[in-house]
Amino acid sequence: MTPIRTPTDRIFVALDLVDVDQAVAIARALAGRVGGVKIGKQFFTANGPEGVRRVAEIGLPLFLDLKFHDIPSTVGAAVRAALPMKPFMLNVHAAGGSRMMRAAAEAAATAGDARPRVLAVTVLTSLGDPELAELGMPVTLREHVTRLAVLAKSCGLDGVVCSCSELMAIRGACGQDFILVCPGIRPTWAAGDDHRRLLTPAEALALGADYLVIGRPIVKADDPAAAVARIGDEIAADLHVG
């Protein structure tokens, strides 16, 4: 990873909205102030590729968070179908297995220089050890997450989406070049919402996160650009950057 350039250039803002105009207005207000925007299933299901195109034309890098999980040929075809949206990153479930992940990586590679980075979702952060046991997994969450991250890397994937508490274990197992994207981030002044475990942006960056996904503290703010500036001040003060 390149060094942090500005305190907020590692932030991808989760545009968890249905309204395209609102998403476009927020993307416009944040252009040049954050690393990119994340489009997930809610926005995509409501607005499709045309809605994504309208947000993308603002020029911010796009993380297409559709978490593909299907047979290898279908996931490969879905990744190819996503390429015209020119995502900077997209993701698939590691639980789809090695052939599925390889199919995703191969499909992404067909975009050449415009190749999106393909990330794996290891275990959803909404699951804990009791839910894994319920699913018949005889391992701890930490072991399973690390195992899936290593498998994703061996299949040619570029990184994972992970919880802050998994950052150090995955970094240790997968090395410096593996991209670690962390949701569940809250600046000190924001509500925790429905997250069980939270870190501040500076804490997550200090633990080795490459990108931070932050949604509601920015998107629901009266002034999203001011919220980003406030987060930037907090990161700069804690990490002495900027």
Using rule CB under 6 A, residue 40 touches ligand C5P = yes
Kindly tell me which residue out of 16, 70, 106, 233 binds ligand C5P, with binding defined by CB under 6 A: 16
Residues in the chain: 242
- Dig out the tokens for 16 from the structure: 């968890």
**Does residue 35 interact with ligand C5P by CB under 6 A?**
no
Q: Residues 44-83: x/- map of binding to ligand C5P (CB under 6 A)?
A: ---------------------x------------------
By CB under 6 A, tell whether 86 contacts ligand C5P.
no
Residues 125-144, interacting with ligand C5P (CB under 6 A): 125
**In the complex, what is the shortest distance from the CB of residue 214 to ligand C5P, in angstroms, rounded to a whole number?**
5
Tell me the residue nearest to ligand C5P as measured from the CB. 215
Among residues 124, 139, 168, 237, the one that binds ligand C5P under rule CB under 6 A: 124
Contact 231, 190 (CB under 8 A): no
Q: Write the DSSP assignment of 126-188 as a string of letters.
A: T--HHHHHHTT--S-HHHHHHHHHHHHHHTT--EEE--GGGHHHHHHHH-TTSEEEE--B--T
113: Cβ contacts below 8 Å, ≥ 6 apart: none
Which amino acids are annotated catalytic?
A: 67
Binding of ligand C5P by 149 (CB under 6 A): no
Least distance to ligand C5P, CB of residue 41, Å: 8
- SS3 (DSSP) at 103: helix
Is 87 one of the binding residues for ligand C5P (CB under 6 A)? no
DSSP summary character for residue 199: B
Q: What count of other Cβ atoms lies within 10 Å of the Cβ of residue 241?
A: 16
Contacting residues toward ligand C5P, per CB under 6 A = 14, 16, 40, 65, 124-125, 161, 183-184, 193, 213-216
